Amino acid sequence: MCGIVGFTGEHEAAPILLESLEKLEYRGYDSAGMAVRNGDKLAEVVKATGKLRNLAEKTDGGHALAGCCGIGHTRWATHGEPTQENAHPHVSGNAKKSASGPVESNVVGVHNGIIENYEELRDKLLKNGYQFYSQTDTEVVIKLVDYYYKKYKIGPIDAINRMMVRTHGSYALELMFKDYPGEIYVARKDSPMIIGIADGESYIASDVPAILKYTRSVYYIGNLQAARILPGEVHFFDLNGDEIEIAPTEITWDAKSAEKGGFEHFMIKEIHEQPQAVRDTLGSLIKEGRIDLSEVISEEELEKIKSVTIVACGSSWHVGMQAQYVIEDMAGVPVRVELASEYRYRKLLPDPESLVVLISQSGETADTLAALREAKSKGLKTLAVVNVLGSSIAREADRVIYTKAGPEIAVATTKAYSAQLICMHALALELARVKGALSSEEYSKLVSELQTIPEKIERILEEKNRVQWFAAKYSNAHDMFFIGRGLDYAICLEGSLKMKEISYIHSEAYAAGELKHGTISLVENGILVVGILTQKELIEKTLSNMTECKARGAYLMSLTADGNYSIEDSSDFTVYIPKTDPHFMGCLAIVPLQLLAYYLSVSKGLDVDKPRNLAKSVTVE
């Protein structure tokens, strides 16, 4: 998730682009760049790694870049580390080094999204004499537009339409063509883009906050549509190149809530971004109906793995706890799950046939980084599952699988957690396939079932009001227990942490069968016991543990899959979620628990996004 902006009008573009990018920095902040054109002179590209302020300093607040037409970008790296070469804008010519400076080539552009078939397109362009200076998917798609533009001697819109037909993935693209000074061409599929016209000038942005200062009337360009933008004018085109009408929409949000896309908090916004985060992560892992980890680890290496050790902290450790059940059950490979803060001081026994998997959203968590270094120093094979490209853990691990959750602002992780789960399920499926633990039918069935998760999360989010109603009833709760068995217990761990993190309610996750060995002494009138019941063969067992709590005065909330309607007979409140394969139930069951914690925190008037005593990335021991 990057932020893109564009402007063409009477005013100097660069200061306007910088100010708009500032409003989009929550979308990505590892590098930034602009391309600005002064009349029909060549466009000038300036890039800078790190925070946006580095670009502002480099261009003296934009004043060093003359011209009234320009495009800008703030990056969240997905393809290629956050370097000068990989920063946007990118150009269509065979530029040297990072393509900064005057743009000789036909097309210069910025992009937000993920081009899934970029490798195949790059091979096609290499065969047609193109060279590449960056590792980005964006440079590929800009060169593809240039390829069609030159090969068929067609206009920008036709070249863009040919690109859209040929490209798989998501994109919001802004392009400037050398032959069309003062004009910006855009194309969109799945990634957000809005266009605003005010006082004879035109603005483009990934999101409302960037242009709210200039206009509240915006155009939402549709999927697989393109547009030609001139000062104070915009023309929309469909995939056949026919001009189409789009009616403007009036924005009613204030600037602050606009950054949250109209949501009250980043956490609830990110909860609603989970379907896309899972979709993007699956998109990067699945090729032609199969999980493709060939860029990360070879089948031979996977086949030789005799055991897996998962090391992480907090919610990432909870992903590990779920993965343990799934990998052992699916692939028959023994799994240990270790707290990084403990693992780093343990006497590690070198085991060439073991794989150490380190999970981290930030990629900077001190304990997990130290555990990685410890494992490497013992010659252990390491694989990291990370959300931040170029982060320390990503750079130091032998192999990396990236989650595609985009920047996560709220301290309490939600969409990154869900994307991590998907990566671990993909690893489990690949281990099971190469070890012959799954038939190819079973394998394909599970891979397609995994691809139903985004839509099922959307269905759960449609039902969020029930959870909101229940949370309002319980805003005075002091103690809670989340209980479950097997994979459900691992789900409880994350549900309970979410509750503690943002609502400050004392909450414990407990293996349901353990309760009667002591902890049930804490159960009394008014205690809320949340039972997770998604594993068919364990439902009766967990229900009887819940009934034992009921007998001691507890109030029971159950979370189970559609169809298990008998459960509500012994529960005070039941939440149903769509069915999926038992291994993947955790991807769905966590969503109502995130919502429960969120609505309880809101009902207590707490700072949901920045809870007390916590940091988004714990870089100290």
* Interaction of residue 571 with ligand AGP, rule CB under 6 A: no
* Interaction of residue 407 with ligand AGP, rule CB under 6 A: no
Residue 360 or 496: the one with the smaller Cβ distance to ligand AGP is 360
CA–CA distance, 32 with 74 (Å, rounded to integer): 4
Applying CB under 6 A, the span of 256-264, 313-321, 344-352, 438-446 interacting with ligand AGP comes to 313-321
* Interaction of residue 112 with ligand AGP, rule CB under 6 A: no
**97 to 84, 241, 310, 357, 420: CA distances (angstroms):** 9, 35, 39, 35, 34
* Interaction of residue 270 with ligand AGP, rule CB under 6 A: no
Nearest Cα neighbor of 10 from 156, 198, 177, 178 is 198
Residue 33 or 314: the one with the smaller Cβ distance to ligand AGP is 314
Residue 488 or 494: the one with the smaller Cβ distance to ligand AGP is 494
CA–CA distance, 232 with 243 (Å, rounded to integer): 17
Question: Among 92, 322, 362, 594, which residue sits at the site for ligand AGP (rule: CB under 6 A)?
Answer: 362
Shortest Å distance, C-beta 102 to ligand AGP: 41
Provide the β-strand partners of residue 113: 171
Cβ-contact 160, 180 below 8 angstroms: no
Strand ranges in 50-180 using DSSP code E only, listed in sequence order: 69-75, 90-91, 101-102, 107-115, 169-177
* Interaction of residue 84 with ligand AGP, rule CB under 6 A: no
* Interaction of residue 361 with ligand AGP, rule CB under 6 A: yes
Which structure tokens are listed for 171?
């994109």
Shortest Å distance, C-beta 512 to ligand AGP: 23
Residue 326 or 358: the one with the smaller Cβ distance to ligand AGP is 358
* Interaction of residue 136 with ligand AGP, rule CB under 6 A: no
Please count the CA atoms within 13 angstroms of the CA of 262 that sit on its side-chain side: 7
* Interaction of residue 412 with ligand AGP, rule CB under 6 A: yes
Taking the alpha carbons at both ends of the chain, their separation in whole angstroms is 30
* Interaction of residue 100 with ligand AGP, rule CB under 6 A: no
Residue 159 or 493: the one with the smaller Cβ distance to ligand AGP is 493
CA–CA distance, 396 with 384 (Å, rounded to integer): 9
> Degrees (nearest 5) of the Cα angle 503, 583, 527?
30
**What residues are labeled active site?**
2, 616
* Interaction of residue 365 with ligand AGP, rule CB under 6 A: yes
Provide the β-strand partners of residue 574: 558
Residue where the block lists tokens 């897996």: 308
> Degrees (nearest 5) of the Cα angle 486, 489, 492?
155
Residues 485-524 that bind ligand AGP (CB under 6 A): 501
* Interaction of residue 206 with ligand AGP, rule CB under 6 A: no
* Interaction of residue 411 with ligand AGP, rule CB under 6 A: yes
CA–CA distance, 410 with 38 (Å, rounded to integer): 40
Kindly determine how many residues on this chain lie close enough to bind ligand AGP according to the rule CB under 6 A.
15
Cβ-contact 411, 609 below 8 angstroms: yes
DSSP string, 408-443: --SSS-SHHHHHHHHHHHHHHHHHHHHTT-S-HHHH
Residue 86 or 368: the one with the smaller Cβ distance to ligand AGP is 368
Applying CB under 6 A, the span of 256-264, 326-334, 354-362, 588-596 interacting with ligand AGP comes to 354-362
* Interaction of residue 370 with ligand AGP, rule CB under 6 A: no
Applying CB under 6 A, the span of 88-96, 406-414, 428-436, 551-559 interacting with ligand AGP comes to 406-414
* Interaction of residue 618 with ligand AGP, rule CB under 6 A: yes
Residue 109 or 611: the one with the smaller Cβ distance to ligand AGP is 611
CA–CA distance, 562 with 28 (Å, rounded to integer): 38
Which structure tokens are listed for 518?
């002591």
Shortest Å distance, C-beta 368 to ligand AGP: 5
Catalog residues that contact ligand AGP under the rule CB under 6 A.
313-316, 360-362, 365, 368, 411-413, 501, 617-618
